[in-house]
A = this chain, B = another copy of it.
Amino acid sequence: MLKDLEKTLHTQIPMTKLMRLQVESLDKKELITTMPLDVNINDKGSAFGGSSNALTIISGWAVCILLSKEMGLGDTMIAIIKNQSSFRAPITKDLICHTYLPSEEQISKMKEKILSKKSITLKLKSEVIQDSKICLDFEGMYIIKLK
């Protein structure tokens, strides 16, 4: 399933393929996505802020897709509305992004709401972590609309 999601992202959003985004793993707690440093490098030999921010943006979006499937929503439109990011430390290795999932209880409430209102907004948090240190701290607000 995760490799299907990766393929969908690479096909529908070509920049994710050029950035060599990989969807690594998913459990009840988090989705892990990665990008290699080499193509995403900057003038200082660390990760380009535009690439690391794109990794968090697309990872939140991917979580919205996974949640929509879990909720059995069928065809949806998912988009980012706003975000804020803090670049706390340079990323000097391949990028590993942790995007945290809502709890079962929150997902259940979201499902109720979207079935009655036809759309919901949700806030998701991602962190790019290197050697146990949070290098990029991201919060994104997304919309999921039923089609």
Q: Which residues of A contact B (CB under 8 A)?
A: 12-16, 18-19, 39-44, 48-51, 53-55, 57-58, 61, 77, 79-87, 90
Q: Which residues of B contact A54 (CB under 8 A)?
A: 48-51, 53-54
Cβ B51 vs Cβ A15 within 8 A:
yes
Contact flag A86-B79 (CB < 8 Å), given A13-B42, A13-B48, A57-B50: no
- The copy count of this chain in the complex is 2
Instruction: Find chain B residues with CB under 8 A from A12 CB.
Output: 42-43
Contact A39 B14 (CB under 8 A): yes
Complex alpha-carbon distance, A84 and B87, angstroms: 12
A120 to B55, alpha carbons, bound, how many Å? Answer: 28
Known: A13-B43, A50-B58. 12 other contacts (CB 8 A): A12-B42, A13-B41, A15-B40, A18-B18, A49-B54, A49-B61, A50-B50, A51-B54, A53-B83, A82-B85, A82-B87, A83-B84
